[in-house]
Amino acid sequence: MKTYQALIFDCDGTLADTMPIHYRAWSRAAEQFGFTLSEDRFYSLGGVPVAKIVDMLLREAGLTEDVQRIVEFKEAAYLESLPHIQPVEPVLDIARAYRGQLPLGVASGSTREMVLRTLGQLGITDWFDCIVGADDTERHKPEPDCFLEAARRLGVEPAGCCVYEDTDTGMEAGRRAGMDCVDIRDFHTPARISDAC
């Protein structure tokens, strides 16, 4: 087994099982502002920053709403449900095992503020030596920038990092960064809204 110099984790869907809560927030925003976003499409956009998704959905629907207003509405709806998030225990077990032994980072398509709130809710913020959010890089997943920035902040070459991800977009970003990637979907099945129906 390869020895890594650092581990980098995605947040939503990887460390925290937040995707159903995010989808509920998106559904509320879609209803409020008149666009559509199916659950399958939502999951296919994992790792893409909220503002980019809003802009894309508005263009597709021919709407001219203010992107930032919708982003704020969606994020507020998410924060209302934040107390209900659950950790992805198998991934937390990995982070817990390497905490203090290897540098650990988080690289997310969510804003830094949302990542900090999510990690704070789980009580694990101090496990990580760096946190890179969507507002820390110009380009986002599937581009490798967030992972490269995390490696830089951790003081480790990209080839010495292993990424933990839950989306195809994130896996592609990790590979483009020259990092090994672990697809947590191989050992964790995320909850979906449609499963509860």
What's the domain range around 27? 19-83
pLDDT tens digits along 6-64: 999 999 999 999 989 999 999 999 999 999 999 999 988 988 889 999 999 999 999 99
The CATH number linked to 56 is 1.10.150.240
* pLDDT at 147 exceeding the cut of 90: yes
Question: What is the C-alpha separation between 113 and 188, in angstroms, rounded?
Answer: 26
Instruction: Give the DSSP H or E segment for 159.
Output: none
Count of domains forming the chain: 2
What is the number of H-type helices and E-type strands within the chain? 8, 5
Is 174 found in the same domain as 137?
yes
Domain contains 194: no
Is 49 found in the same domain as 144?
no
Is 174 found in the same domain as 90?
yes
pLDDT value, residue 33:
96
* pLDDT at 196 exceeding the cut of 50: no
Is 117 found in the same domain as 37?
no
pLDDT value, residue 193:
60
Is 97 found in the same domain as 68?
no
* pLDDT at 175 exceeding the cut of 90: yes
State which of 49, 68, 83 marks the end of a domain. Answer: 83
Domain contains 196: no
Domain contains 192: no
**φ, ψ dihedrals at 99, nearest 5°:** -60, 125
Is 176 found in the same domain as 98?
yes
State which of 30, 62, 83 marks the end of a domain. Answer: 83
pLDDT value, residue 151:
99
Catalytic residue among 10, 12, 17, 145: 10
Is 106 found in the same domain as 10?
yes
pLDDT value, residue 194:
58
Neighbours of 64 (CB within 10 A): 7
Domain contains 48: yes
Is 110 found in the same domain as 30?
no
Give yes or no: 186 in active site.
no
State which of 32, 51, 83 marks the end of a domain. Answer: 83
Domain contains 1: no
Per cent of the chain over pLDDT 70 is 96
The CATH number linked to 161 is 3.40.50.1000
**What is the longest distance spanned by two Cα atoms in the chain?**
52
pLDDT value, residue 190:
72
Neighbours of 161 (CB within 10 A): 27
pLDDT value, residue 188:
87
pLDDT tens digits along 111-125: 999 999 999 999 999
Question: What is the C-alpha separation between 89 and 26, in angstroms, rounded?
Answer: 25
Per cent of the chain over pLDDT 90 is 90
Indicate the pLDDT class of residue 197, thresholds 50, 70 and 90. very low
Is 152 found in the same domain as 116?
yes
Is 160 found in the same domain as 69?
no
| CA Rg value for the chain | 16
Can you tell me the mean pLDDT for 83-106? 97
